[in-house]
Structure 1
Amino acid sequence: MTVQQETRSDDEALEVWIDQDLCTGDGICAQYAPEVFELDIDGLAYVKGADDELLQAKGAVTPVPLPLLTDVVDSAKECPGDCIHVRRVSDKIELYGPDAE
């Protein structure tokens, strides 16, 4: 089982995406969770999917692996561009990021 597959149960599963329009390219997310985030040659951060593929489609999401939850949440909290969104898969409610309540 890969790290990307080690997620929470379906009702608690979380996913993360990056709004590249707001990304400042500081790379803090890639430092916190390099298994989930990566900077591309355009200088912007993207999420990674299965097999570490870079997901460059606008609004691309990837599961948040349970062992990396703290690192992904810290990435969202520390992001200077305020562009990392962590939400529940079941209802799309943002739990961490600029649109969290």
Structure 2
Amino acid sequence: MSTENEPLEVWIDQDLCTGDGICVQFARDVFELDIDGLAYVKGEDDELRVEAGATVPVPPSLLVEVIDATRKCPGECIHVRRVSDGSEVYGPDAD
């Protein structure tokens, strides 16, 4: 599935997050563990997005790292989708 040059966004389902922090190891600029032990996405302003279903853009320079985090996540809670139509391209609901 080609996502080159296509705007993508990422979000984390905290109900499934196991708090392992693997996502942070892959893409520290996109993911962070909060005080509750769960992972959240964070924006370019470095602020965590703690609202349920909150998304942030996937920086093109970190696309591979975000995809790797999505694939390695033991909780299968990271979702990457197209901005244009909302279809999931990486994550547990991807086709």
* Short-chain TM bin: over 0.9
Please report how far the alpha carbon of residue 28 of structure 1 lies from its aligned counterpart in structure 2 after TM superposition. 0.2
Please report how far the alpha carbon of residue 50 of structure 1 lies from its aligned counterpart in structure 2 after TM superposition. 2.6
Q: Which moved further from structure 2: 47-56 or 80-89?
A: 47-56
Is 1:25 paired with 2:25? no
Please report how far the alpha carbon of residue 49 of structure 1 lies from its aligned counterpart in structure 2 after TM superposition. 1.2
Mark the runs of 5 or more structure 2 residues left unpaired by the alignment. none
Letter in 2 for 1:86: V
Query: Larger % of helix: which?
Result: 1
**Secondary structure of 1:50 counterpart:** coil
TM-score (norm 2): 0.94
In structure 2, the residue matched to 1:84 is 78
Mark the runs of 5 or more structure 1 residues left unpaired by the alignment. 1-7
- Aligned with 1:71 (options 62, 65, 68): 65
Is 1:48 paired with 2:42? yes
Paired positions, count: 92
In structure 2, the residue matched to 1:4 is none
Moved over 3 A (4+): none
Percent of aligned positions that are identical: 70
